[in-house]
Every structure is written in C-alpha cells, then in structure tokens.
Structure 1
Amino acid sequence: MLRSFFVKGFLSLLGIIFISAIPFAFVGTSFQFTKYVEGLNTIFKNLLQPLEMTYIVEATERLIFPYLWDPYLYSMTLLFSAFFIALVVSVILSFIVSLLPQTLYKTVKSILFVFESIPDVMVGVAIQFFVIWYFKQMNTLLFPVASSSLEQPYFIPILCLTILPLVIMFRTILYHIEQEWEENYILTVKGKGLTRVHILIHHILPRAFKSLFFQSKVIIWFMVSNLLVVELLFNIFGITNFIFTYGTPVLFSLFCILIFLPLFTFISVGEWISGKIDVEKQENTPNTISKSLIMKKGILLYKKAVSFIKKTLKPMKDPLFAVGFCFLATMLFLSFYHHFQFDGVVPQTEVIYGDDGSTLIDKASFDPSQRFWFGTDQFGFDTFYRIIAGAKYTLGLALLISLLRLMISYIGGFILYLSPNRIRNGFIGLSEALQYVPVALLCFFILYPISVSSSLSFWDKGLFQIIIMTILAVPVTSVMFSAEIGEINKQEFITGAKVLGGNRFHVFFKHIRPHLTPKLTYIFISQLMFVLILFSHLGMLKMFFGGTVLREYTLGVQDFIPTSISNEWSGMIGAYYNQILIRPYLILIPVLFFCLCLIAAQFMLKGLKTSTSHIYLSNKFEKVKIGSSIAVVILFFILNAIVINKFHEELAPISVPVTNEVVKKEEGDKEKPAEKEEKNLVTLDSELVSSFEKGKIEPFPFVVGKPSDESKTGEPVSSKTFEDGLTIQSYLYEGYEVKVGISQEKIVNTINIELNTNRDNIMKIMDQQPAEKSTDRQFLTFYTGEFQVSFSRQGDDIWGASLLQKQAEGVE
C-alpha cells in the first residue's frame, strides 16, 4: 500500500511538471519540442530552489515565500471546509430522503436534477447579486461579498463552493443506495428481520459512501476549478487568484504541487480507509452474446440503416430528450439562419427619438422590454441578437470539441487496452495529474500569448483554442475508456471468447465494442457539459474565442471593456461582470443561457437512460409520452417562427433587394461622402511622445486642461453627451480622427486617437516602465510630466491612446 502510494504520488508530480511546461513549448501556434525541454529544465531548476522563486509586481521583483502562505492557507481553508460540509450534509440528506415516501423521493430527485445543471458562475453571481440587492433594500449587509484589507469573507465563498458538490454528492449517494437495495445480499439481511433504518445505516450507507469516495477525485477537481471562479467573483486574493494575476508557468507548477500534496494525501488515506469496508459477495449475471444471421450484403446494409434510424429516433419519444434536443437545435438553427440570412448583424440603437424625429426620448442602455427582449448594453447593441449571434460559436464549438474529445479518447482507450500493464499504469499515473490542475487556468497560460498576437487571424486563434481545449481532456478521457474496457473485459463471456481462440483485436471489435458503443452518447453529453462550463470559466478570465479586444465605454483612463469578437456567451460574461449592479441583465442573461444549455444536456442524458432502459410501459402511457414529445416539437417550431418573424421585421431593411433606380440613387449619394477624407491611423514616434508632455497630441489643436476654442478646432463631426455631463466630440483632420472629452465648463479633459502600432513598439518609443501593469497586457499607462497617457489595444496592430491630467498613483 505504502509503495503504491509513493509510486502514484511520484508519477502525478511528474505529470504536473510535464503539464506546466506546455506553455513554454508554443511559439505562435507551433509546438517546438526544444522549447518544451528548455521549459522543463527551467521548472526543475526553480522547484529545486523554491525559496528563491520570485514574482513581479509593477516592475518590482519580490520573493514568493513567505508571502504565498497566506493566500494558500486561506484558499485551502475554503476548499476543505466546503468539501467536508458538502460531504456531511449530503450523507445526512441522503439518509433522510431515502426514508421518504416514493412520491416525495422522486420530487427531490427531480429538483436535484435541475440544480446539478446550474453552472458555478450562476451560483456565485446569483448569491452576490442577492446580498447586494438585500443591502440596498434593507440597508443591512447579510455577509461580506468581497475581500478587503481588513476582512476576508468566509461564509459566502464556502457557500458557493459547497452547493454544487453537495448536489453531486447527494445524487451520487442516492444512486448507489438505489443500486444497493436491488442486490441479493439485501434479501438475506431483510430475512433476518432487520428494520429499513438499520439496513440503511449498517449495510447500504457504508458501501454508498465507499463508492462516493472513489469518485471524490472528480468532485475535488471540480471544486478546485470552481475555486478560481469564486476568488475572481468575490475579489478574494487566494492562491488561484494570485497565480492568475502574477503567474508564470513556473509559478503555475508550484501552485499545482501545493494543491496536489494535501489533496492527494487526503484522497489516498480515504481510499485506504474505504478499502477496509467489507463488501458482501454479489452475484453477477453473465452477459450473453447475440448471434448474427447470415444474410446477403444488400439486405444486411438495408436492415442496419433502418435499425440505425430507429435507434436514432427512439430517444425522441421521450419528452425530456425532446425538450433538450429541440432547445439546442433551435439555438443553433436560429444562430445560423441569422448569420446566413442577415450576415450576423447585431442591431445598435444609441438613442430613441419621438415621432417628430428630433425630440430625444431615451438613450442607451435600454432595459428589457417588448422592443428589446433582453435589453441592450451601453453601446446600444441588442443583447438578444448577441445571444443569437454567439450561439453558433458557444454551442457549435462545444459540440465540435466534445465530439473530437470523444473520437480521440476512444482511440486512446483502445491503445491503452492493447498496451502492456506497466505502460498503461504509468500513463494512468501521469494523467491523474490533470485531476489536480485547474484546466481553465492552464488554458489561460497556453492561450494568452496567442490571444494578444497581432499576426494571427480570428480563425487562427480560434482553431488553436479548439485544439488545446480538446487535447487537454484526452488523457483523462482515454483512461476512462480504458477503465470501461477493463470492466467489460472481466465478464465471463469475454473469457469464453478468449478460450475459443479470439485475440485482443477480435475480442475488442466483436465483443467489447458492441457493449461500449451505447455508452458513447452518455460520455458525449457529459463532455458537452464540461466544455460549456470550461467556456464560462475562460470568460471570467477574459479569454474569449478568437481573441479579445477593448471597446471604448466612455472617454477616460481604463474606461474600456474587453469584448469578444465572436459574441460568444463567455465573452459577454467576462465583458459585463463589472456592471452587475448597473445592468444586471447583461451578465444574468448569458449565464442563464449557459444554464439552460446545461439543463438541456441533462434532459437529453436523462431521456437517453429512460429510452434505453428495459422498463415495461403500457401502451396508453407510451402513447402519452409520444404525444408529449410531438407537442414539444410543435412548440419549438412555433418559437422558431416567432423569432424568425422578429428577424425579418427588424433586420429586413438591411437585406431587402433593391431596384436599379434605388442602386443608382444610393451610388449618387455615396459620391458626396466619398469626397470626405478617409479615416487614417496616427503613427507613434518620438515627436508625438514629446507633445504628450505639453498636454497635446500634435498636430491636433487641443490642449488638456485648456478651454476648447471652436474657431481653431472647427465643428465636430459628431457629439454625444453622457450622464455625468461629459461630452464626447469627434473631429476629422486630413483623414485622422480625434475624439475629445469636453467638460460642462468647456474644458478639454481627454484627447483620444487611434495608433498604428503594437505593444512592443509602445514600450520602445515611451522608453520607460508602465506605471501600471495589466494582467491581460492590453492596457498600458505612462506618466509624461503633468499628464498621463494610456494605451489600450483595439485590434491587430491598432491601439487607442488617451491623454489626460495625471492622476494620483494607485487611484483607478
């Protein structure tokens, strides 16, 4: 036992180091093995001297120890407290619910079924929003919802970490209790006259608890991933937030090892204790092999095709599967219809005027209403259309990644099945390292250099993200397939096939594969749920599909919002989380759709289990189920028709065919604007930087802190006034656009331009360290004399520059 403990621990530690070196290996999107080896060497050298490891804060190098111990101990307190609370409460609830009448028992299971589909982001956001809402209504703060220098919150973070593991443990224990009641040894125990409570306490719960503990690796891995989201949501500076903020691959390896050591020890001791629980002998019913009839090839293919169609359509008879399938299919259909029919246009409404066309009624943002079903953001973009436009990326990519994971892991599991025991056990030991690694954080370190690259296109970045999100799950999923094959391989009919002379390939393709294939659908839907959760976690890390750009919110320092180019839902969560108190619907709606997709996947999984079970149903009940499924399909057809009608009413003018006369008229209208100067980008050079010290951006006639003189500046091309009285005026000079912030006293507050440059060139020209270092490397701030200039990345080789009065250091 002790030798096995050290071997597994050593292999897992090696696996963590091998995984942590992956970010070193990528130069652009190409994997270079020599860089990977250099990265391994760097990690090994630093881990051998942990007390000399450092991190950088605002260009200052600091030792990581002993500073790391406080966030580490705080995070471990949250993690283990949540785990033990979930464990104790789930055991108690399982005992109580198991004694309930059958009707109440099924009701509790249905409630758990829905709660298990709620993503952790939804739980955290909902709790935080409720506490703040209650404080605003009652002027009483129930619990601290964010950390500060004086107080670290415990109750709310532990509650968020506890809820989902509690639901998972609760359902797992109930499932194993149901299985144990059907075992033959229970009949013997009942024959002795023992009560139901006695049997539950002394026989069933210990075995259910043992089965739960052997699944605790997945639950703890799930909690470690959630820990990062909780620390970000509540501004907790724990170990995961620390690594996200200041981390490098070297620090990431140290973090994973610090997480691994207590968790691995806890799990190993628990497995040893669980192994001491006696298990009564249970009879296994041997499976039988169905004999195939010899038929002509054409008839055989025909029957196979008919059988495949019947098997495919059979789950649709179940209403739950029909609801889940129709919801996902509807979202994808509407998204692709919107893309191909209307070019993916997201309507923008900045202001609403009265019937006279001049009276201002309202301006963006707009709350949810009959016109704007899900409201708009501060830029006036309709959230409903953003959800529709992003569905093809969020759901489409989740389906694609899940399918790729399934296919590659299926092959990987087969290869492990053929491998010698030593190789298979070694691979399993190394792959277990992924159970202790927050996958979202690992993806961040790998994908971040790609997301900020200016030389890669949208699809270059997107394809790389698909590959990474697929490959990182393959080792663990391959081991799972290998374990499934191993269980089937223990059956008596497999032994019989081997005795009759069947080799490994014959046994797999003729006997194991038919029993493994039905499980593929369950595994696929499970992977779909994991990918959707991973997308939501990456959104919290501001890591969006296809790259991230900063969109100007209002003119000023750091007044930019990271946005997703593709409108995928995780990008909306990451972009609008900071506005939860101002416009809560902006984050609640995409989180809600994530939740609905997870519930839909759970419905499909439940429907599949029901449709493939051999429970006898009366013809009357079977007809009721089929009728309910047909009604579900009809309702979703009606919903599609309503939404498509909305598309055509609001977007049809964009795509309506026009006559030749209209085309000529439009071409004539275009001639006048064509005479205007085209918009150009300013070049960043030393002369431009020297003008910053004077509060100017040469050659534009504006000076920060001075009044705006219209006789020198001319009339603006456009003007927009915000709630705080700040007016944004846009000017065009010889093709160059400049935006100026004017106060109510007509004083120039801010000057903004767009530059044709990149981050490296900015650092070179400015020739100084930035005053603030952003973790996403998309925002830089410098001080030049009495003024401050801030650069924000707008796109590939496009950066915005904002010049304003110098603010006090440390003030945001």
Structure 2
Amino acid sequence: MKLVKLAAFYLLGVFGIICISVFPEFMIGAGLSNPTAYFTNLGEFLITFIQPESWVYDVPMSSGEYSLIDTLWDPFIYSLQILLGALLLGFSLAFLFAFAANFLPQKFLQLIKRCLDFLESIPDIVVAALVQTLMIYLFKTYDIELFRVASYMEDKAYALPTITLAILPMISLFKILLLMIEEEFAKDYVIFLKSKGIRKTAILVMHILRNIIPTTFHHTKVFIWAALSSQFIIERIFNVHGISFFILESFSPMTIAASLILIFTPFFLIFQLADLWLHRAEEYNAETILKAQRIYTPKTFFRNLHNSFIHFDWKKLRPWKYAANILRTLYAYIKNWKITVGSLFFIVLICASMIYSVTTNDHIDQASIVYEKDGATIKSTPPHSPPEPFLLGSDGQGFSMLDMLIIGAKYTLFFGLLIALLRVFIGLLGGVMFAFVFGSKRQKWIEKTVDSIHFLPLSLVAYILLRPILTELQSGFAYSLTERIVLEIIILTILVVPLTSVLLGNEIKRVLNYEFIKSAQVLGGGRWHIFRRHVFPHISARMTVLFGQQFIQVLIIFMHLGIFNLFFGGTNISFGLVQDPPRSISYEWSGLLGSTTNALSSGNYWLIGWVLLGFMLSIFAMQFIIYGVKEVQQTKEGIVYHFRKQKKNRLSHKASSKYEADRNSFQWVYKSGAN
C-alpha cells in the first residue's frame, strides 16, 4: 500500500512538471487572449508524451532531430556528478567542523555562530564570482592554475564548480548542526551520561550525532533545493554544458519535461524511501485539532465564515483600538536597533530612488569618450572605471552605474517586498484552510505533494515560466509592461505559496495544541476569536521571519534571472547588425548582471561589483530585521540578548563570590511565635 502511495505521489509530481513544460508554448501562442487553449495544449502534449517515438531533441533553426534520452543523458550525469560531489563534500565538512567546534571555548563558539550568520547571507553568485576571480588572479599574477576555471570543448571543469557549489550548503548545515548539538547537550540524558564519567567525545559520537541524524536528513531537503537553483547559475558562470544548457538550447516542451523529470526522480525516490524507512512519527496529535477536523468541512467552513461576516456587529468595531495595539506592537519592535537600521535602509533607499526619478525624470548621465585636459588625448572609453567620469564607473555603453542603481532601487526592493508579502499573506490563508478545514489524511496528502517542490530547481522553473513573457522578440514584446510586471509577480508568488501554506498551517496546528486553546474553547471562544486573539499573535513573529526569508529568496531569484538576461519588467534586445547588450526596461538591479562572465574575464569588476554590493546590503538589512524580530520575541519568552548586561552580571557575580562573610553580614529576622 505504501508503494502504491509512493507511485501516486511520483505521478503527481510528473504531472506537475508536464504542466510547467507546456506553459511557455501556451504563452507564446494563445496566451492571455485565450486561456482555455492551455488545457488544449496540455492534452495534446500528454498524448504525445506517452508515445516513445516522439521523444526527440530538436533545436530551433536546425533541421536535425536526435534521440532525447541519448542527448540528455550525458549532460545529466555531468550535472549530477557536480551536484552530488558538492553535497557530499559540503555535508562531510559540515559534520567535521561541527564535531570539532564543540571542543572550542564557548566564546569562540559564539563568534563562529556570528560568522556563520554573516556567511549564510552571501548570495551564491557572489561566492562563484569571488572564487573565479581568485583563480584568475592567481593564474595571471603567479602563473598558478589550481583548478580549471571553465569548461572548454572536451575539457570539462569538475573541481571548481563542485567546490563552489559545496560552500553554501556546508555553511548552512554547519550552523544547524551547531544549534542541534547545543540543544542535545542541554537534555537530561546527556547530564546523566556526564555524571557516569563518559567523555564528551563518546557522548558526541555514540549518542548526540546518532540522535540528530534523522532531523538533519529532513533538513537536507532545503539545502538540496537551494543547491539545485545554485547549480543552474554556476553551470552558466563556469561554462558547464550540463542539463540546464540543453534545456535553454532547445526550450521545447518535450526537452523541458524530460530534463525536469530526470532531475526530480532520483531525489524524490531517495527521500520518499528514506521516509518509509525512518517511519517518521506524527508531529501533531491534539484533541482540539481532531475535533475541529471532524466537525468542519470546506463547505461548512466557508458557510460559517460568510455568516460570521454578515452577522458581525459592526457597531462594536473600534478601529482605533486595533490601530493602537498595532502601534504599541510596532513600538516594541522598533526599539530594537537592528529592526530600526534594517527598516531605515529600505525606507531611505526606496524614497531616494522615487525622489530622484520624479526630479530628474529618470535621467542617466552618459559619457562615450573621456578626453584628457588637452582635449585631444583619449583618457578612457566605455566602460569607464571609477571614479572618473562617474563615481561608480559606467557600463559598456557609457551610462553611469550610480544613476542606474538609484533608479532601479525602487523597482528591485519594492517589488521584492511586495512579492514576499503576497507569499506570506496568501500562505496564511492557505495555512488557515490547511489547519482548520482539511482532515489529517488530506493534510498528509497535501504535505507529500507539496514536498515534491523541494526536488525541482526554483530558479530554473521561474526561468522556464517567465522566458516567453519577459523576452523581446523582433516583433516586440508579446505583452504590455503592466502585464509583464503583473504576470511576473503572480508567477514568483504562486511558485512558493504551497510551501508557505503548509509551513504556516503546521504552525497554526502547533498553537492549537496548547492547553490554553482548550480553555478558551471551554469558555465559549469561537473559531474567529481563537484565531484572532490567540493563534495569530503567536504566529505573527514567525510570519515576520518568514517574510524576511521570502524577500531574500526573491532577491536571489532576481539575481539568477538577471544572469540569464531575464530582467524584471522585460528585457530590451536589439536586433540590428551591431547588437547592444540586453538592457532592462526599468533599470532594476538584476538588469545590470547580464554581463557577469565578461566582466570577470575582462577585469571590469565594477560592472557587477556595485550591483552585487547593493543586493548584499539589501540581504544584510533584511537579516538585521529577522534577527531583531527573533530577539524581541525570544526576550518576551525570557531569553536575554543583552550581552553587555550578561557580562556585567557575570562580573558582579564573580565579585560577590569573593565576598567573605563576617558578623555584620547577618541580621535577625522576626519569626512568628518566637520569644
């Protein structure tokens, strides 16, 4: 029976991949003018897909047809070797470092955690650019070639892409292992083992590592999901002709479907079979949840919601009270300096960008040729290096990098925040339905189905869906600017909504498991009252953290799409004899990343250095907000984050421990009944 369910989930995943594969052809053809044509294209492709003789790899403007599996198999193995090698290297180093770090003093361990927080925020593009730049510098300066910088013809690059891809998973797993090991050391069984005289090394190897391996295994889904998207970019930067290269070259529904299925299948089978072997226990088994699931069906849920809205006593509504509560809550968070600094970064940058656009009408300075003071000697030609003629230099056409960064800030940051907000808000609605409407069996099916998203590269899927929308053809764009922006927002939101819905749904179920929820129900509290007064306040901090994480993920997708010349709002392409580089319609920041490879190889690092710095500062600012929210929330729960006060208290405790008692140190205490 379990194998039958496994096959059903796999077929659902394959069907989802087929739906993704048909979408680009539909948008190029009928598009929004005839939405029902999508189902026609889907049906026709399903009929074609089940016929093995139709599995053909074809390339536009080429008359040749080749076997699809034979063409994709070797590139797939090449990509899989790099990915598995990177995961094996990263995970092995993470376990080794986590084991060794626990023998360091607590002061150094805290410093390592802070460094890991910083390193985890660095985007994969920055890591790849720094590694490749270092290799080029060593070769040009010292004639040392440690690793092959890029693949060329039959000379394939293995080591450097593998090492680069392994860095971020290693950092993330290292951080999580430290936290889990620290949590295990605080448990009673470890204290008991220490009391028996067992050494720390034996406790780590024989008990703690064995206990955290199942949890670590399930955490690896997120790391693999991020690594799949990172590989899509690293293959481009290191000129690796892996599976993604052949997807972009053909870009037909059959090639897309076959490639995504090849990527999806091995990881799906590994994790699903491992779940069957581990027999993971249920996380939530609350009587309150089961009772809610027996009583409420989707029909009754929406009927009760409609009745509650109609019969609500609007006269009792006091909007100023809610506003006062919101302001009171915001003040509690704004007092945290990290939240204030992070928020001011976005407010100041977006406002400055809007003011600049209004006052200058999006003017960008341009300098074709810069002459010396004599007016005859050429000083520089585009791209101009900083600080002359522009503070941050110019691009290949002589446009000021500073002006483009200022103009594009409002589009990059505002729409990134908007997409993250939509993901969390729609995910909250889905989470409420997941927790209150669906029964336990349906919840299991939804979790298993949504879990399959972790085995597809998110950036590659976003590229597949957005390429027919954002790319300009010789006849112009297929959709208007407003349509392109709205469609991109919708697609980037929907891709992650299932995951955020399940995540927030599980958070709601966790809160419903608390004892005070039962007390509120006994006292007559309704569902809306319980959600508004009890559930939502408990998950609000988690939603804020999730919002920050989604914003960072959106920025990373923007960067990935920018490497492949898919810019927010559309990519302007010239089709003349002398073609200019692709340009962004809105000058948003990902539009400045299209020339990454050329910038690194030519030494014009400012072409991407400033825009990468802008992305990194935005990520760091959001990380400040996330850390600040965690500090405020955990301070409410009794965890103190004021290290200076802790240090002061420790010093005062040491001073008091040296105190010697004398006869004046004691005083008589009146005791009732004493003579």
| TM-score band, normalised by shorter chain | 0.7 to 0.9
Which residue is 1:391 aligned to?
Answer: 409
Q: Mean Cα displacement is larger for which, 422-431 or 201-210?
A: 422-431
1:236/1:47 Cα in 2 relative to 1: closer, same or farther (>3 Å)?
farther
Which residue is 1:65 aligned to?
Answer: 69
CA contact (8 A) 1:239 1:255 kept: yes
* 2:607 maps to which of 546, 565, 586: 586
Distance 1:57 1:21 in 2: 17
Which residue is 1:566 aligned to?
Answer: 586
Which residue is 1:122 aligned to?
Answer: 126
1:123/1:40 Cα in 2 relative to 1: closer, same or farther (>3 Å)?
farther
Question: Counterpart amino acid of 1:77?
Answer: Q
Deviations 1:312-366 (A, max 9, x none): 1333333433333333333212211211222221111223345576665443332
Task: Give how far 1:507 is off.
Answer: 4.3
Task: Give how far 1:275 is off.
Answer: 4.8
Which residue is 2:512 aligned to?
Answer: 489
* 2:351 maps to which of 310, 333, 350: 333
Distance 1:588 1:473 in 2: 29
Which residue is 1:13 aligned to?
Answer: 14
Deviations 1:522-551 (A, max 9, x none): 010010011001101111121111211235
Same amino acid, percent of matched pairs = 30
**Secondary structure at the residue paired with 1:54?**
strand
CA contact (8 A) 2:520 2:530 kept: yes
- Higher percent of residues as helix: 2
Which residue is 1:732 aligned to?
Answer: none
Task: Give how far 1:202 is off.
Answer: 2.6
Deviations 1:751-784 (A, max 9, x none): xxxxxxxxxxxxxxxxxxxxxxxxxxxxxxxxxx
* 2:87 maps to which of 35, 58, 83: 83
Deviations 1:226-256 (A, max 9, x none): 1110111111110122112212233212112
Deviations 1:619-641 (A, max 9, x none): 9957999xxxxxxxxxxxxxxxx
* 2:384 maps to which of 353, 366, 382: 366
Query: 1:239-254 maps to which residues of 2 (within 5 A)?
Result: 239-254=243-258
Q: Mean Cα displacement is larger for which, 419-428 or 156-165?
A: 419-428
Distance 1:101 1:183 in 2: 20
Task: Give how far 1:182 is off.
Answer: 3.1
1:13/1:355 Cα in 2 relative to 1: closer, same or farther (>3 Å)?
closer
CA contact (8 A) 2:357 2:407 kept: yes
**Secondary structure at the residue paired with 1:380?**
coil
Which residue is 2:670 aligned to?
Answer: none
Task: Give how far 1:505 is off.
Answer: 5.0
Is 1:600 aligned to 2:601, yes or no? no
**Secondary structure at the residue paired with 2:390?**
coil
Q: Mean Cα displacement is larger for which, 375-384 or 415-424?
A: 415-424
Query: 1:743-762 maps to which residues of 2 (within 5 A)?
Result: none
Distance 2:333 2:26 in 1: 45
* 2:454 maps to which of 423, 432, 435: 435
Query: 1:262-281 maps to which residues of 2 (within 5 A)?
Result: 262-272=266-276, 274-275=278-279
**Secondary structure at the residue paired with 2:477?**
coil
**Secondary structure at the residue paired with 1:545?**
coil
CA contact (8 A) 2:24 2:467 kept: no
Question: Counterpart amino acid of 2:586?
Answer: S
Deviations 1:99-132 (A, max 9, x none): 2111101111111111111111111111112211
Deviations 1:12-51 (A, max 9, x none): 3333333333334433345713423432440453244277
CA contact (8 A) 1:18 1:40 kept: no
1:71/1:411 Cα in 2 relative to 1: closer, same or farther (>3 Å)?
same
Question: Counterpart amino acid of 2:20?
Answer: I
Question: Counterpart amino acid of 2:490?
Answer: I
Task: Give how far 1:433 is off.
Answer: 3.2
**Secondary structure at the residue paired with 1:561?**
coil
Query: 1:202-601 maps to which residues of 2 (within 5 A)?
Result: 202-272=206-276, 274-275=278-279, 304-353=322-371, 360-369=378-387, 372-417=390-435, 418-451=437-470, 452=472, 453-454=476-477, 456-497=479-520, 505=528, 507-550=530-573, 559-582=579-602, 583-601=604-622
Distance 1:622 1:470 in 2: 43
Distance 2:645 2:317 in 1: 30
**Secondary structure at the residue paired with 1:309?**
helix
CA contact (8 A) 1:28 1:449 kept: no
1:193/1:317 Cα in 2 relative to 1: closer, same or farther (>3 Å)?
farther
Distance 1:76 1:229 in 2: 15
1:513/1:152 Cα in 2 relative to 1: closer, same or farther (>3 Å)?
same
CA contact (8 A) 1:387 1:567 kept: yes
CA contact (8 A) 1:248 1:445 kept: no
1:28/1:548 Cα in 2 relative to 1: closer, same or farther (>3 Å)?
same
CA contact (8 A) 1:365 1:376 kept: yes
CA contact (8 A) 2:23 2:38 kept: no
* 2:78 maps to which of 71, 74, 78: 74
Distance 1:119 1:486 in 2: 33
Task: Give how far 1:57 is off.
Answer: 5.6
CA contact (8 A) 1:43 1:253 kept: no
Deviations 1:586-623 (A, max 9, x none): 01221222122112211221121112222465999579
Question: Counterpart amino acid of 2:19?
Answer: F
Deviations 1:252-274 (A, max 9, x none): 12112111111112223444555
Question: Counterpart amino acid of 1:531?
Answer: V
1:260/1:50 Cα in 2 relative to 1: closer, same or farther (>3 Å)?
farther
Distance 2:189 2:535 in 1: 29
Task: Give how far 1:299 is off.
Answer: 12
**Secondary structure at the residue paired with 1:62?**
strand
Deviations 1:629-655 (A, max 9, x none): xxxxxxxxxxxxxxxxxxxxxxxxxxx
Task: Give how far 1:166 is off.
Answer: 0.7
CA contact (8 A) 2:420 2:551 kept: yes
Task: Give how far 1:416 is off.
Answer: 2.0
Which residue is 2:309 aligned to?
Answer: none
Is 1:33 aligned to 2:36, yes or no? yes
Q: Mean Cα displacement is larger for which, 51-60 or 567-576?
A: 51-60
Question: Counterpart amino acid of 1:36?
Answer: F
Task: Give how far 1:140 is off.
Answer: 2.6
Deviations 1:434-479 (A, max 9, x none): 2222222222232222222535332321222111111222122112
Q: Mean Cα displacement is larger for which, 136-145 or 116-125?
A: 136-145
Task: Give how far 1:561 is off.
Answer: 0.9
Task: Give how far 1:189 is off.
Answer: 3.6
Distance 1:371 1:313 in 2: 45
Task: Give how far 1:7 is off.
Answer: 3.9
1:442/1:36 Cα in 2 relative to 1: closer, same or farther (>3 Å)?
farther
Is 1:611 aligned to 2:632, yes or no? yes
Distance 1:194 1:229 in 2: 47
Q: From the CA coordinates, give the structure whose radius of gyration is larger.
A: 1
Q: Relative contact order (alpha carbons < 8 A, sep ≥ 6): 1 or 2 greater?
A: 2
* Structure 1 gap ranges (5+): 287-296, 626-812
CA contact (8 A) 2:56 2:68 kept: yes
* Structure 2 gap ranges (5+): 289-314, 649-675
Distance 2:110 2:53 in 1: 53
**Secondary structure at the residue paired with 1:114?**
helix
Task: Give how far 1:301 is off.
Answer: 5.9
1:31/1:134 Cα in 2 relative to 1: closer, same or farther (>3 Å)?
farther
**Secondary structure at the residue paired with 1:75?**
helix
